[in-house]
Amino acid sequence: MAVVIEREEWEIPSSAYYLLFVSCFASLFSFPFFSSRSSPFSLHSFDHAQAWSFLRFQRGFLLVYSLASVTGGLQMLYGEVEFMRFGLSRDQIALIFSVVPAVSLFVGSFAGIFSDIKGPRKACLLYCMLHLFAGMLKCVNWLPFVWIASAFGAIASSLFSFCFETWMVTEHEKQGHRKDLLTDTFWRMTFFESISLLGSQVLANLLTTDAEGGTPLPFALAAILAILGFLYIKRKWSRSQDALAIWSYQKSFSSHVLRDKKIWALGWAQASIHFSTSIFWLLWAPSILADGRDVQLSRLYPLFIGSRVLGSTVFPWFYDTSSPYYSQNSLTSAFAVAGLALSVIAYDYQEIGVLLILFCIFHACVGFILPSLATLRTMYLPNEVRGGMISMSMGPANVAILLVMLAGAYHKAIVNSAIMAVSAFALLTSCGCVHMLKRSKKHQSWHDL
């Protein structure tokens, strides 16, 4: 007699969503009461004209930054489902996915140099144009167009990692705003980007009518949003930087990036967080669904993004010098905790609940690390080479991701646990790099600037 084994779907408790929401709300709105220094939104902290000027600048930037984040989120909606409608095998899909790190490596690594020389405003306009073309091509049900759209999306993702930040910092200093207020914008960038990613999923679900992902409506919306972003930047953003001479830029890049060990350490930290987050989005679903476990993955995505939001709201508690929890060791600890979380996942099989907690801890650390690295870049790096440094630091990460895609997903020569272990090792070595920066004699904190 055959034995029938019933598969019970694992459901996440609804209290987890409420707990995460309450934690984000408490962290966000209780900080001004614990900080002895008035926040930038308190107009008595400095001159009224300066306050309103900064708020107007910050809100305008965050508006278009959120719009760009939603556009990018809509383009990354379906993943492999997007290619299944063409009847491709998993190996063929893995080969197509390898296009993204390959294009990012050979084109995106030098996009930052283009941004620095021609100006970040032009790079932001190019970002919108690439998403416009990618959205239009994905609306056509023809496989070669999807290949081209994937290449455009890869270049756009590389541009997104630095062009908006570079423009914001350049314009912030040009308008004469206080430099310590950059930290406030940095964590809000991570906060609004995470919220925008959630919003893009909500919009996509409302527009998707085909369960197989065949509807072009989300991609059409992405193209429309790209047009709106392009027009906003074209009309509202000033030309804050003139084109630089190549020889002058080469000299500055060589002296401030290639010959500075502190920048190398900072670049490795940036590469490790880029690699680990990319690996996470490749492996989180296979890790949770291991051994035939039945879970609704769509309900887990908000938890991860919500954890990232929580990490970004915690950032001002540790980077505001007037906060009772101010600590320069916080970034080192964040890298260590993120690396240990992935190490546990790589080392041993875990129940779904434990996996979710570890993944959420990892994303909370990511939400804290991203604005922290942006702060360190402002401390150590001149604005004229910021884009080139960020894009070049992505090179090692893109090489590693390409090898993982080819050897792991295509040839199946590397197991997922080994890939996760490499990600954990990269984060732990970044912990050492950040510790070295902290010990540097030239290290400055914001109250010294």
Residue 50 lies in a domain: no
End residue of a domain, out of 214, 249, 284: 249
3-class SS string, 119-178: CHHHHHHHHHHHHHHHHHHHCCCCHHHHHHHHHHHHHHHHHHCCHHHHHHHHHHHHCCCC
End residue of a domain, out of 249, 270, 299: 249
Question: 189 and 317 share a domain?
Answer: no
What domain range is 283 assigned to? Answer: 256-439
Work out the end-to-end distance of the chain between its first and last CA atoms, rounded to an integer number of angstroms.
77
Q: How many angstroms separate the Cα of 171 from the Cα of each of 7, 60, 107, 248?
A: 56, 12, 26, 21
Q: What is the DSSP letter of 107?
A: I
For residue 141, is it left (φ>0), alpha (ψ between -120 and 50) or beta?
A: beta
pTM: 0.89
- Please name which of 395, 388, 287, 275 lies closest in space to residue 335, comparing C-alpha atoms: 275
Asked if 180 contacts 173 with a C-beta cutoff of 8 angstroms, the reply is no
Angle, in degrees to the nearest 10, between helices 120-138 and 163-174: 150
> What CATH number does residue 260 fall under?
1.20.1250.20
Runs of H (alpha helix) within 179-260: 182-207, 217-236, 246-253
- Please name which of 224, 355, 369 lies closest in space to residue 283, comparing C-alpha atoms: 355
What whole-number distance in Å separates Cα of residue 421 and Cα of residue 356?
Answer: 17
Q: How many angstroms separate the Cα of 32 from the Cα of each of 87, 164, 190, 323?
A: 55, 27, 19, 9
Spell out the per-residue pLDDT of the chain, length 449, in tens.
344 444 556 778 888 888 998 999 898 888 877 765 544 444 444 566 777 889 999 999 999 999 999 999 888 765 555 666 666 666 767 777 788 888 888 888 888 888 888 889 999 999 999 999 999 988 887 777 878 888 899 899 999 999 999 999 999 988 888 888 899 999 999 999 999 998 888 888 787 765 454 567 888 899 999 999 999 999 988 775 556 667 777 888 888 888 888 899 999 999 999 999 999 988 888 888 776 677 777 788 889 999 999 999 999 988 876 666 667 789 999 999 999 999 999 887 668 888 999 999 999 999 999 999 999 999 888 888 899 999 999 989 999 998 888 877 656 778 888 899 999 999 999 999 998 887 765 445 444 44
Burial of 149 (0-12, 13-18, 19+ CB in 10 A): buried
Question: 115 and 237 share a domain?
Answer: yes
pLDDT at 244: 65
**How many domains are contained in the chain?**
2
pLDDT at 326: 66
Question: 176 and 232 share a domain?
Answer: yes
End residue of a domain, out of 249, 265, 287: 249
Angle, in degrees to the nearest 10, between helices 109-118 and 120-138: 130
